[in-house]
């Protein structure tokens, strides 16, 4: 695998993982569809859910790029590692983050807010920081602003696109075929797996 391609695959893979996580959107989309008795509602929910997730990730990316403009790459890696470790500890200690109170009658704005908050609470954007280092700061002493911005935008789009594709696929599979009863027998604690992945990545950045 090309070293240049690897971080992009990581970005897409993390988006797919987020799409699998019921807390990131597909469970809410299915619940809305069942409540309103329409598969079209499941499809309608995809856009605001993906938008909220993308905005959360974009906020983390912008903050990271701002730090990268004033700090050395080695310092940037250490800060990213410390953030990932701290967030992992928070997730393990606090468990499931508190949900924004959005009901079954919510509109697009409510779904965007809910998705943004859930993605932020899970540290969705933070996990992209290791991939952003080689993508946006690939050995350039002074990265060109336009180039860095374009790469960062592609990161957000690729990640959010992968998340949307998997979220939609799982939502319609559960809504049309499997049903929510599968959660009783096939539940996996993805929040714990996510926290462990955050911690492992943070350690890798700090020790690398």
In a domain, 108, yes or no: yes
Q: Is 1 part of a structural domain of the chain?
A: no
Confidence at 87, pLDDT banded by 50, 70, 90: confident
Name the most confidently modeled range: 140-144, 182-186, 202-206.
202-206
pLDDT value, residue 193: 78
pLDDT at 27: 85
Count of domains in the chain? 1
Tell me the pLDDT tens digit for each residue of 3-51.
Answer: 778 889 999 999 998 898 888 888 889 888 888 888 899 999 999 999 9
* Residue 169 domain flag: yes
Confidence of residue 189 (pLDDT cuts 50, 70, 90): low
pLDDT tens figures, 44-75: 999 999 999 999 999 999 988 888 778 787 88
Per residue, the 3-state secondary structure of the chain, as one string, reads: CCCCCHHHHHHHHHHHHHHHCHHHCHHHHHHHHHHHCCHHHHHHHHHHHHHHHHHHHHHHHHHHHHHHCCCCHHHHHHHHHHHHHHHHHHHHHHCCCCCCCCCCCCCHHHHHHHHHHHHHHCCCCHHHHHHHHHHHCCCCCCCCHHHHHHHHHHHHHHHHHHHHHHHHHHHHHHHHHHCCCHHHHCCCCHHHHHHHHHHHHHHHHHHC
Which residue range forms the structural domain that includes residue 45? Answer: 6-207
| pLDDT band per the 50, 70, 90 thresholds, residue 86 | confident
pTM value is 0.84
pLDDT of residue 107 exceeding 80: yes
Burial class (CB in 10 A: 0-12, 13-18, 19+), 103: exposed
Residue 92 lies in a domain: yes
More confident residue, 118 or 162: 162
The predicted structure's pLDDT at residue 26: 86
């Amino acid at each position: 695998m090309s070293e240049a391609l690897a971080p992009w695959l990581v970005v897409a893979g993390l988006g797919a993982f987020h799409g699998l996580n019921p807390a990131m959107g597909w469970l809410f989309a299915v619940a809305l569809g069942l409540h309103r008795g329409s598969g079209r509602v499941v499809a309608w929910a995809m856009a605001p859910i993906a938008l909220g997730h993308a905005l959360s990730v974009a906020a983390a990316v912008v903050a990271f790029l701002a730090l990268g403009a004033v700090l050395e790459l080695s310092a940037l890696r250490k800060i990213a590692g410390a953030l990932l470790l701290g967030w992992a500890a928070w997730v393990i200690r606090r468990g499931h983050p508190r949900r924004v109170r959005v009901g079954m009658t919510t509109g697009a704005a409510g779904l965007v807010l809910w998705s943004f908050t859930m993605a932020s609470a899970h540290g969705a954007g933070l996990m992209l920081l290791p991939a952003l280092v080689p993508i946006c700061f690939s050995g350039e002493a002074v990265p060109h602003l336009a180039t860095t911005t374009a790469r960062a935008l592609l990161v957000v789009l690729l990640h959010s696109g992968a998340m949307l594709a998997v979220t939609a696929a799982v939502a319609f599979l559960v809504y049309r075929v499997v049903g929510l009863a599968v959660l009783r027998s096939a539940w996996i604690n993805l929040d714990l797996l996510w926290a462990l992945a955050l911690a492992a990545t943070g350690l890798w950045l700090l020790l690398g």
